[in-house]
């Protein structure tokens, strides 16, 4: 199984690599000092909450990812594999 950053899969992992880099720069390196794993766990949970629930995303019309997802799913067509056939 290939790991993140292994040879030959850079395009597959580009999004993950970019997110991991930003996450480490914005949270792990710039916050702290960390006194233990519990501090990091709480900080990660807060970061994920902000990232999904409160961060305004320009490509989504300046709404949060959670708002965009909630607005999308009521109108989305189910995948063909899940649609009922008569």
Model confidence band, residue 74 (pLDDT cutoffs 50, 70, 90): confident
The per-residue pLDDT for 17 is 84
**67-72: average pLDDT:** 89
Residue 83 in domain: no
Are the CB atoms for 28 and 37 separated by under 8 Å?
A: no
d(CA 21, CA 80): 36
Domain extent at residue 22:
10-75
**Number of domains forming the structure of the chain:** 1
Residue 48 in domain: yes
Residue 3 in domain: no
Are the CB atoms for 21 and 8 separated by under 8 Å?
A: no
- Dig out the tokens for 25 from the structure: 């720069």
pLDDT in tens, 24-52: 888 888 887 889 999 999 999 999 999 99
Residue 82 in domain: no
Q: How far apart are the first and last CA of the chain?
A: 41
Residue 40 in domain: yes
């Amino acid at each position: 199984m290939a790991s993140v950053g292994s040879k030959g899969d850079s395009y597959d992992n580009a999004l993950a690599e970019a997110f991991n880099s930003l996450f480490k720069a914005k949270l792990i390196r710039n916050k702290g000092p960390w006194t233990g794993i519990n501090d990091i766990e709480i900080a990660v949970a807060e970061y994920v909450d902000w990232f999904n629930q409160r961060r305004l995303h320009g490509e989504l019309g300046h709404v949060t990812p959670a708002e965009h997802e909630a607005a999308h799913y009521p109108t989305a067509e189910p995948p063909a594999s899940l649609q009922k056939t008569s």
